[in-house]
Amino acid sequence: MTSDELVRLLVGVVVLLAVAVVVLRVAGVRVGAAPLTAVLRGGVQLAAIGLVLGGVLDHAPLASAAVLAVMLTTAVWTASRRLASLQGLAAARRAVALACTAGAVVVLGVVFAVGVLPFEARYVVALGGIVLGGTMTSATLAGRHLLAGLIARRDEVEAWLSLGATPRRAVLDVARAAVAESLVPVLDQTRTTGLVTLPGAFIGALLGGASPLDAARFQLIVLAGLIAAGSVVAVLVTTLLGAPRVLPTGTP
């Protein structure tokens, strides 16, 4: 990046942040310095990962595995602390770790076993990063919908228990609804791709010099992978956390 490009980048970011701050203040929304800190943090993290990946993509499998391990650890930590009220932080962390790992392994295993993409470090890291981000979102959504359902439908669950149902059977309908709700964002994204949005993977491939058809091919496998990973993660999270010994109270 040249100095001129860097200056233009900084000016663009500052102007966009100013727009956000002005709009929020006019609307009376108090978020403090959250937009600024979010962009600063994102910028630092992107710069760091850019430097790391510069070395990773020139060296194979162990470096790529280390990057994916860091991504997985961060995803598990982020999602599990939001779900601790279901069965405690330790249980939530185990459930999310198992679910996210399983979702990512299934998708990466299928894609590279079938040969949809070359088994090279750049493709492993690129697809792995996208899928792991999706697993984090799916785990969080599935867990939060499960928690909200247990609170909102507490009487129904207690009725099942009073009839002698096991905790898992009493929560089964709530868990199924949580899985379905957690898949809504990725299904909507897939349905509207190309009509409402042009996803990042597609744009990134185009900017990287790929043809529109090759970019579309990569984006399609990404979307299918996100649906597959989200399904695996949501089912596992609701299964592993879907038989609480004590029903949660309050708000999710």
Q: Tell me the β-bridge partners of 197.
A: 193
pLDDT digits 0-9 by tens, 86-114 = 666 678 889 999 999 999 999 999 999 98
Instruction: Quote the pLDDT of residue 236.
Output: 94
User: Under a CB-based contact definition with an 8 Å cutoff, are residues 150 and 248 in contact?
Assistant: yes
pLDDT above 80 (res 237): yes
Q: Per-residue pLDDT for 36 more than 90?
A: no
Give the H/E segment covering residue 222: helix 212-240
Residue range 115-129: average pLDDT?
Answer: 84
Per-residue CA distances from 179 to 88, 156, 173, 183 (Å)? 20, 18, 10, 7
- Which residues are CB-neighbours of 103 under 8 A, at least 6 positions away? 131, 134, 135, 138, 228, 229, 230, 232, 233, 236
Residue with tokens 């499960």: 146
The pLDDT score that the predictor gives to residue 198 is 62
What is the pLDDT at residue 199?
64
Is the confidence at residue 78, as pLDDT, over 60? yes
Residue 222 identity (one-letter amino acid): V
Predicted model pTM: 0.77
Contact 139, 96 (CB under 8 A): yes
Query: Do 146 and 238 meet the contact criterion of CB atoms below 8 Å apart?
Result: yes
3-class state of residue 28 by DSSP: coil
DSSP structure class, residue 107: H
**More confident position, 34 or 132:** 132
- CA-CA distance, 77 to 79, in Å (whole number)? 6
Q: How confident is the model at residue 11 (pLDDT cuts 50, 70, 90)?
A: confident
- 88 in the Ramachandran plot: left (φ > 0), alpha (ψ -120 to 50) or beta? left
58-62, 118-122, 218-222: the lowest-pLDDT one: 58-62
pLDDT, average across residues 201-211? 67
Mean pLDDT along residues 3-28 = 83
* Residue 35, C-beta contacts closer than 8 angstroms, at least 6 positions apart: 17, 20, 21, 24
Instruction: Give the per-residue pLDDT at 125.
Output: 83
Mean pLDDT in residue range 195-219: 69
**Is the predicted pLDDT of residue 207 greater than 80, yes or no?**
no
Residue 50 is predicted with a pLDDT of: 66
